[in-house]
Copies of this chain bind each other. A is one copy, B any other.
Amino acid sequence: MSSLPANLAERLKAQGVLPTAQRLRIASLLLASPQHLTAEQILGRLREGGKRVSKATVYNTLNLFAAKGVIRQLAVNGDRAWFDSNTEPHYHFQDVETGALTDLAPQEVIFDKLPPPPPGTEYAGVELFIRLRRV
């Protein structure tokens, strides 16, 4: 419904990103479906696919995409960053052991009460992680 490869270049341009070959490769990989990938995973998959992309470009591109709102960067585990292809408001389950993330549709979480932003501030986003342990 959103980003067929053919539209990708347009989509990137619309979000202020010059659509180069490497950026299109990274975008088509990550935006193919709702998913959470690390930089290393993305680099690995590109190289499996025979694509030549440097680690620096992967990081540069992911940071650029996150800054332009093409993807969302999740800082969950402290150790490494996860990049989420879903930029719509939503929440996450997180496996305590592996750190793996699963999307939660926004309607699965309803807040009855949230604190107002303190004076001089405004909401910039709500991050909700429900940690799960296997039993």
Q: What is A's interface to B at a CB cutoff of 8 Å?
A: 73, 75-81, 93, 96, 102, 104, 108-115, 117-118, 120-135
Q: Which residue of B lies closest to A74 (CB)?
A: B78
Contact of A120 among B79, B80, B127, B135 (CB under 8 A): B135
Decide if A130 touches B114 in the complex (CB within 8 Å): yes
* Known A110-B112, A123-B133, A126-B129; further 19 A-B contacts with Cβ < 8 A: A73-B78, A75-B79, A76-B78, A93-B115, A96-B125, A108-B113, A109-B114, A110-B113, A111-B112, A117-B130, A117-B132, A120-B135, A122-B135, A123-B130, A123-B131, A123-B132, A125-B131, A127-B128, A128-B129
